A and B are shown apart, each in its own frame.
Chain A
């Protein structure tokens, strides 16, 4: 065992550069148990709630559906399905506002609830070790499990990566202020999370899992400490409170001292990470056959009367959720009430409240303007360098800001823009209120767009060249056909002559001779006339 592995086994906690300590404000929502809210009348389920392709539709308008029934299927493009949140009728399928910062529409399935909340039949599994790895992965995929930590990457796809693994890391850090959904889940469902972790270990073919929890969650730590003695292959790691310790690359650095290579994946350093919520969903999917149709959502902020954590069915609209939690919008008519999906650091302001809660929605934040000031006017950069001090990816935010403003995309790539995890620490400390992350996001989107255009141009060139080639080939073929036809004609004539038939050439010669004779006759007649004329 190498010294580094020994240190990991001994529970050594490394550190990562930068980071900030924003006010946590988690105590507003983490003191009460997770509550179940009454079901909404209508649910809006977007067919794309994860990264990757979308599934083919399985239902039509007017269909009666039951909770947990798949709405889309895996299909040939290996998509992740979405499921019915509660029993009812499919009332519409079409474009609808989705929870995306653009406020654009995407295909959504609207379900009118019948209020009975009948469930589709699920097949529980007594002993998951009897199934093969592929069957277990399929079970997880069919249940629509995506990473619940933020990016929504399909879990089965992540687990399908075949590479020797040193550790599976279960991420219960939840470092972003306000959010306490994972905290409450760990306190109340530690056993299920451990079951899920064991299944993940089994599928990944990995020996050991590290469960990471931030030091500011003593109750969750206690819940796991009570259970873990029975599970020698699981180890608890308590990481110090700092934002963004819960970032994938940052947590890997904290627990193992390893650095994920630029543009690489944790699997490149022999690790794979899953969120605690994902581990819970995996346990539900594999053991009970239950698809992902609900998740814990933190609803918090000054303008919420009943902040707390709630089991929310996927597809519940934010408006419905807020109404049930006591929503008091800002009274000041001059200022609009902001509703943020996600946390204060990485979340985005919703374009309107009719968007649904999706698989990756961990928090709805309704702040007053005192606790979370609206974006102030951007001032000039004073080159203080505070942003570079707090950057957890050791980038140069200030430099990247100049380059992003100048649209110098090559320069940005040289500055490793794509290593930016968009944690917002740089913008948080910026004394000039520069929305740095926005510049990076915009530049990233622009660079991706350019790459897409380039790929498209390459395809267009290939198609153009293929067409030119085809036209040229067709022309050659046509000429060749004409040549062959002419040859065949000549050959047929020659054969006909050889067999004693008429030679068409003779006919031509005869015709020419006739024409000549006629011309000669005409010329003679004319000469004769002229002569007679002269004689008269």
Chain B
């Protein structure tokens, strides 16, 4: 008899807790940040397509579906390491088939050579080129991601990719520059 009582009591308890847990799982469900958004946040958003996908978000989706994490040259090793951390996989060196890590660049149109064909405007993934048909085009430098996509379509080759200039406000301290040490004088 006691065995049966115990079983019934335990069964009822199990049922009750099960219901509570089931209810909680539905009621207090946490909408987790989808993995694609997290990956996308780590990518450099140059939208250059060097990974073989038409933009950073498509590549993020591909990584979420199991693609390699080392196909992003603009992000470089830092991005690969961050992705490896996020995905819980081993960090690898950059796949050179997709390009080499390079200094940050910005597109500059040689304006007197521009014929106003609008081909670069259509190629720019972030709408950073301003102009109209048969009018001179120019790059909005601070919106340019340096993706390189406008260079190829230009029929007169008037677009240069130039490294972003170093100014006092984005300059990096050089370690061997300033003596800070103050040593007791000998006199």
Contacts and interface: CB of A to CB of B under 8 A. Distances in A.
Interface of A: 22-23, 98, 100-102, 104, 106, 177, 338, 340, 344-345, 347-349, 370-376, 424, 427-428, 433, 435, 437-439, 441-442, 445-446, 449, 452-453, 456-461, 463-468
Nearest 6 A/B pairs, CB to CB: A457-B45, A460-B45, A463-B126, A375-B179, A373-B183, A102-B171
Contacts of A441: 173
B145 interface: yes
B45 to A, nearest CB: 4
A348 B177 contact: yes
Interface stretch (B28-36, B61-69, B95-103, B162-170): B162-170
Contacts of B173: 101, 438, 441-442, 445
21 contacts: A23-B182, A23-B184, A101-B177, A102-B168, A106-B168, A344-B182, A372-B181, A372-B183, A373-B181, A428-B181, A438-B173, A438-B180, A457-B44, A460-B47, A460-B143, A460-B145, A461-B45, A463-B126, A463-B127, A464-B45, A464-B47
Interface string B140-168: 00010100000000000000000000111
Contacts of A445: 171-173
Given A428-B180, A433-B181, A456-B145, 6 more contacts: A101-B177, A104-B171, A345-B180, A373-B179, A442-B175, A460-B46
Given A428-B182, A463-B127, A104 B166 contact: yes
A164 B105 CA distance: 47
A415 to B, nearest CB: 18
Contacts of B46: 460
A101 B181 contact: no
Interface in B17-46: 40, 43-46
B116 interface: no
B89 to A, nearest CB: 20
Contacts of A466: 127
B178 interface: yes
A28 to B, nearest CB: 11
A338 B172 contact: no
A468 B178 CA distance: 49
B134 interface: no
Contacts of A348: 177-178
Nearest to A457: B45
Interface of B: 40, 43-47, 55-57, 125-128, 143, 145, 166-168, 170-187
Could you say which of B43, B126, B128, B170 has the most chain A C-beta atoms within 10 Å of its C-beta?
Answer: B126
A98 B168 contact: yes
A459 B143 contact: yes
B174 to A, nearest CB: 8
A358 to B, nearest CB: 12
Contacts of A347: 178
A345 B127 CA distance: 48
Contacts of A463: 126-128, 143
Contacts of B176: 375
Nearest to B104: A453
Contacts of B177: 101, 348-349, 438
Given A370-B185, A439-B175, A424 B180 contact: yes
Contact of B40 (A344, A345, A453, A461): A461
Contacts of A459: 143
Contact of A101 (B43, B44, B128, B178): B178
Contacts of B178: 101, 347-349, 375, 435, 438
Contact of B167 (A106, A456, A467): A106
